[in-house]
């Protein structure tokens, strides 16, 4: 209001009209012929979209796939998000410094409060589980079931929990409970993987090692794209429930499940005993439930947009591509030539060569 007042005061006063002045004559111009292009009331409006689909489509137009997009939604765009996209220009140095600080604090807290037998409660937790049975197979299966119930249960309650305490607080709670249970399960598997009954022995067969190595390597490329959003994982950025559509999602809608199955089959084949079978049964069962639960949560959040994505994709790898529901862009490979997959390649190779170090660290714990 003050700015309008200043403009009004700064304007020159109007010129006074003479007392006797001629009335201006206005000539009416001929009207153009009626045309629907010039008459907005006659232009047909596009059909209204449901609000969730409209919001998702508006976001999809801002984030386009490298190789284009599927065409089934009628406008040549994506209804989901572009997975594994990482642009250096969008990154904040302060956010990544904050992430480094959080990661260091989490590792220290995990060691003091859970891993260290002198100060942590991890050993007592494992002793309580192991008191149920002397069988390593039973304990292994129980550990995977406990982790699965907590992990999937908290994922199911995520929407309600976020409304109560907020997205970041719920992510911290989720990670704070899930991470110690995951570490215990992994360490127990490493320490007892050869304690079960030997069912087969194929390690001496030529080509088996190469098959297991290649299968394990490939399995990590099936990580769910949300895993790459490290700033959201650490709650530096506000966590979101993403609906991804490009990259690995074109091959299978549930890459985490497929990757876990590949990893379990490869390691069970190599180890060949009952403990490996028990671990694989628990992990595969957990991921099968997670696939169903993930579809349910996405359908609840995104509605019709998820139904469109569901028609374009498949649970079984390559099924939607084979039957023509998924049309790969000509430059589809570019959706994998991205920094997250470069990092996955380096970390997977590093983990393979660090196996002796990982095993030595696990053996130091009385788990």
- Write out pLDDT tens, residues 283-294: 999 999 999 999
HSE-up (13 A, CA, CB side) for residue 17:
5
Give pLDDT, residue 64. Answer: 42
**Residue 39: what pLDDT?**
45
**N residues, the chain:** 367
Query: Looking at residue 211, what is its pLDDT?
Result: 97
Report how far Cα 113 is from the mean position of its chain's Cα atoms: 28
Decide: 173 and 235 in contact? Cβ < 8 Å.
Answer: no
Give pLDDT tens digits for 124-134.
999 999 999 99
Phi first, then psi, for residue 315 (nearest 5°) are -75, -45
Tokens of 147: 């982790």
CB 277 within 8 A of CB 353: no
Q: Which residues pair with 273 in a beta bridge?
A: 198
In the predicted structure, residue 341 carries a pLDDT above the cut 60: yes
For residue range 9-65, list pLDDT tens digits in order. 444 434 344 444 444 444 454 554 444 444 444 444 444 434 333 333 334 333 444
**Per-residue model confidence (pLDDT) at position 77:** 77
Query: Taking residues 311-317, what's their average pLDDT?
Result: 96
pTM of the model: 0.78
Instruction: Please provide the average confidence, as pLDDT, over all residues in the chain.
Output: 84
């Amino acid at each position: 209001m003050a700015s309008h007042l200043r403009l009004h005061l700064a304007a020159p006063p109007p010129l006074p009209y003479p007392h006797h002045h001629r009335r201006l004559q206005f000539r009416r111009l001929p009207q153009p012929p009626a045309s629907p292009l010039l008459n907005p009331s006659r232009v047909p409006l596009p059909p209204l979209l449901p609000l969730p689909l409209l919001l998702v489509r508006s976001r999809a137009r801002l984030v386009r796939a490298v190789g284009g997009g599927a065409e089934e939604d009628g406008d040549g765009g994506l209804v989901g998000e572009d997975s594994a996209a990482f642009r250096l220009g969008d990154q904040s140095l302060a956010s990544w410094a904050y992430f480094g600080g959080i990661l260091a604090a989490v590792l220290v807290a995990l060691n003091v409060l859970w891993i260290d037998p002198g100060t942590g409660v991890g050993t007592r937790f494992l002793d309580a589980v192991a008191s149920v049975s002397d069988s390593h197979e039973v304990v292994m299966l129980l550990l995977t079931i406990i982790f699965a119930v907590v992990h999937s249960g908290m994922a199911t309650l995520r929407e309600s929990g976020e409304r109560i305490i907020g997205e970041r607080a719920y992510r911290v709670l989720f990670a704070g409970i899930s991470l110690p249970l995951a570490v215990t399960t992994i360490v127990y598997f490493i320490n007892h993987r050869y304690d079960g009954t030997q069912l087969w022995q194929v390690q001496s067969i030529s080509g088996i090692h190469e098959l297991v190595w290649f299968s394990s390597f490939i399995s990590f490329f099936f990580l769910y794209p949300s895993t790459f959003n490290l700033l959201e994982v650490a709650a530096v950025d506000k966590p979101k429930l993403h609906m991804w559509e490009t990259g690995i999602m074109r091959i299978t809608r549930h890459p985490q499940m497929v990757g876990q199955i590949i990893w379990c089959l490869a390691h069970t084949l190599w180890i060949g005993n009952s403990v490996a079978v028990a671990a694989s049964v628990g992990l595969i069962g957990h991921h099968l439930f997670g696939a169903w639960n993930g579809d349910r949560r996405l359908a609840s959040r995104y509605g019709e947009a998820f139904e469109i994505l569901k028609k374009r994709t498949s649970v079984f790898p390559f099924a939607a591509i084979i039957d023509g529901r998924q049309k790969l862009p000509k430059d589809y490979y570019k959706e994998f030539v991205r920094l997250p997959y470069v990092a996955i390649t380096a970390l997977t190779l590093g983990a393979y060569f660090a196996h002796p170090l990982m095993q030595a660290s696990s053996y130091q714990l009385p788990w």
